[in-house]
Amino acid sequence: MSAETIAPSDEAGLAAAIASAHAAGTPLAVWGNATKAAFGRPVQAAGAVSARNLTGITLYSPAELVIAARAGTPLAEIEAALAAHGQHLIAEPPDLSALMGPGEGPPTLGGAVACNLSGPRRIALGAMRDHVLGVRAVNGAGEVITSGGRVLKNVTGLDLAKLLTGSRGTLAVLTEATLKVLPAPERTATVMLRGLDAARGVAALSAGLGSPYGVTAAAHLPEAAAPRAGLGAAATLLRVEEFADFVPYRTARLAEALASFGAAEVLDHDASLALWRSVRDARPLGAAPEDAVWRVSVRPSAAPQVVGALRRSFDAKLFLDWGGGLIWLAGPATEDAHRAVAAAARSAGGTYWLMRADAGFRAAVAHLPDEPPALAVLTRRVKAAFDPKGILNPGRIFAGI
């Protein structure tokens, strides 16, 4: 970020700053601590606004499973407050600083919500957007708007809280978010199968996720990726999170159910926590500094064929999370590689994000699939409904919007 970044200390200040940018028609880049700046198209803006100084937990009611905090609150602060009451963030948002660089401070709640990035638990218990109960935000005209609330069930009016989640600061600047949380499990364990190829690995993950034993994460690390997570050969991993006295039964039954895929090992609590943190933060990917990084999301059964297509196209480093449906992928930052990623996702009926590349490359290619024309019309109209002059993070998601 540059010297022109305005970082007000309260919501009213943020609203005033955006209102004056609206009046002047000045485009603004929107940040928290800019830890995910490399994710998305580069923003061409004369000014910048940051929510990083809006900090502090505003509500935490453990018995009601709800926490609210201002957008600039570091995620770590929220996680620590939850841990003190034996609770945690359900979607397990990743810390991508190893991939993206350190930013200008710790990852914030606002950034995690605005980017809707979720970790391994997403396959079982939902994404960030599934647990955002309410938001406060400032739209592109400088008006403070609220949506949702602090209760777990709410269908009053249009769900703008979900629309703003993942909208990357292009519709409104989040000032506060309220999340559903859950008790953190007493014990974590991992059932691990070795030496499977992608097809057999995904089949094992599907069998585990389709079992009644409560698998909360399911990942497959191919031969090349497994050593980066401290494992030798290709590893197919299924996580169980439960009360301590339930875990031995669950892991034993799960191993039995997966017997046709080979003998299973069980990793204990500490090894499992470290392993899944590594998977969450995409460390097994092993992207070289100059590599582009993508995420491809497909239905799990299509993943092996997508992996095959990608490996034939370029020297693809990859591993699979979300039961096989999420392919973390690194490779050369070339238009050929990018075209291959887009084609593989499209042919599997899925989608992709370009997660990281240098600014020139990010400006040159579509960092996510183009929308069909009817949807592109709605995108433009909804953008205008929040930000009539197009001043918030212009071009961040789609060129020209």
Partner 1 sequence: MLAMPEPDPKVLARREAIVAALRERAGAANVIAEPLRLKPYETDGFTAYKCVPLAVVLPESTAQVAACLRYCHEQGIRVVPRAAGTSLSGGALPLEDAVVIGVARMNRILEVSLEDRLARVEAGVTNIGITKAVEGEGFFYAPDPSSQLACMIAGNVAMNSGGAHCLKYGVTANNLLGVTMVTIEGEVIALGGGHLDTPGYDWLGLITGSEGQLGIVTEVTVRILRAAEGARAMLVGFAATDVAGAAVADIIASGIIPVALEFMDKPCIHACEAFAHAGYPLDAEALLIIEVEGSAAEQDALLDRLKAICARHAPTTVRVARNAEESAAIWKGRKAAFGAIGRISPDYLCMDGTIPPGALPEAMRRIGTLAAHYGLQVANVFHAGDGNLHPLILFDANDPESFRRAEMLGADILRLCVELGGCLTGEHGVGIEKRDLMTAQFGPADLDQQRRVKRAFDPQWLLNPHKVFPLEAAGTA
Binding residues among 214-233 for partner 1 as defined by CB under 8 A:
214
Q: Which segment (74-82, 104-112, 153-161, 280-288) binds partner 1 by CB under 8 A?
A: 153-161
Distance of CA 75 to CAs 71, 91, 223, 244, Å? 10, 12, 33, 27
DSSP one-letter string for 306-374: HHHHHHHHS--EEEEEGGGTEEEEEE---HHHHHHHHHHHHHTT-EEEEEE--HHHHHHS-SSPPPPHH
**How many CB atoms are closer than 10 A to CB 24?**
11
**What is the spatial distance between Cα 39 and Cα 353, in angstroms, rounded to a whole number?**
9
Cβ proximity to partner 1, 153 vs 260, nearer residue: 153
Q: Which segment (18-26, 63-71, 233-241, 269-277) binds partner 1 by CB under 8 A?
A: 63-71
Scan residues 301-340 and list those touching partner 1 (CB under 8 A).
Answer: 301-302, 322, 325-326
With CA atoms as reference, report the closest residue to 346 among 320, 384, 372, 317: 372
What's the one-letter identity of residue 149?
G
Among 26, 53, 297, 305, binds partner 1 (CB under 8 A): 297
**What is the spatial distance between Cα 75 and Cα 107, in angstroms, rounded to a whole number?**
6
Provide the minimum distance between the beta carbon of 302 and partner 1 in the complex, in angstroms, as a whole number. Answer: 8
**What is the spatial distance between Cα 45 and Cα 35, in angstroms, rounded to a whole number?**
18
**What is the spatial distance between Cα 78 and Cα 25, in angstroms, rounded to a whole number?**
35
Q: Is 372 in the site for partner 1 (CB under 8 A)?
A: yes
Instruction: Tell me how many degrees the CA angle 61-74-190 measures, rounded to the nearest 5.
Output: 75
Dihedral sign computed on CA atoms, order 158, 160, 162, 168:
positive
Provide the minimum distance between the beta carbon of 162 and partner 1 in the complex, in angstroms, as a whole number. Answer: 3
Among 1, 16, 19, 182, binds partner 1 (CB under 8 A): 182
Residue count, binding to partner 1 (CB under 8 A): 85
Cβ proximity to partner 1, 46 vs 399, nearer residue: 399
Q: Is 157 in the site for partner 1 (CB under 8 A)?
A: yes
Among 3, 263, 288, 374, binds partner 1 (CB under 8 A): 374
Scan residues 186-215 and list those touching partner 1 (CB under 8 A).
Answer: 186, 203, 206, 209-212, 214
Q: Is 379 in the site for partner 1 (CB under 8 A)?
A: yes
Q: Is 66 in the site for partner 1 (CB under 8 A)?
A: yes
**What is the spatial distance between Cα 10 and Cα 175, in angstroms, rounded to a whole number?**
9
Q: Is 347 in the site for partner 1 (CB under 8 A)?
A: no
Residues 6 or more apart in contact with residue 106 via CB below 8 angstroms: 33, 35, 74, 75, 76
Provide the minimum distance between the beta carbon of 341 and partner 1 in the complex, in angstroms, as a whole number. Answer: 13
Cβ proximity to partner 1, 61 vs 334, nearer residue: 61
Cβ proximity to partner 1, 149 vs 286, nearer residue: 149
Provide the minimum distance between the beta carbon of 127 and partner 1 in the complex, in angstroms, as a whole number. Answer: 6
Cβ proximity to partner 1, 7 vs 91, nearer residue: 91
Scan residues 18-47 and list those touching partner 1 (CB under 8 A).
Answer: none
**What is the spatial distance between Cα 321 and Cα 122, in angstroms, rounded to a whole number?**
9
Provide the minimum distance between the beta carbon of 63 and partner 1 in the complex, in angstroms, as a whole number. Answer: 4
Q: Is 400 in the site for partner 1 (CB under 8 A)?
A: no
Cβ proximity to partner 1, 7 vs 176, nearer residue: 176
**What is the spatial distance between Cα 60 and Cα 150, in angstroms, rounded to a whole number?**
10
Provide the minimum distance between the beta carbon of 202 and partner 1 in the complex, in angstroms, as a whole number. Answer: 9
Q: Which two tokens stand for residue 156?
A: 């009053």
Scan residues 160-179 and list those touching partner 1 (CB under 8 A).
Answer: 160, 162-163, 165-167, 171
Q: Which segment (25-33, 46-54, 73-81, 292-300) binds partner 1 by CB under 8 A?
A: 292-300
Q: Which segment (17-25, 100-108, 127-135, 265-273) binds partner 1 by CB under 8 A?
A: 127-135
Cβ proximity to partner 1, 39 vs 74, nearer residue: 39
Q: Which two tokens stand for residue 73?
A: 């609150």
Instruction: Tell me how many degrees the CA angle 98-99-104 measures, rounded to the nearest 5.
Output: 70
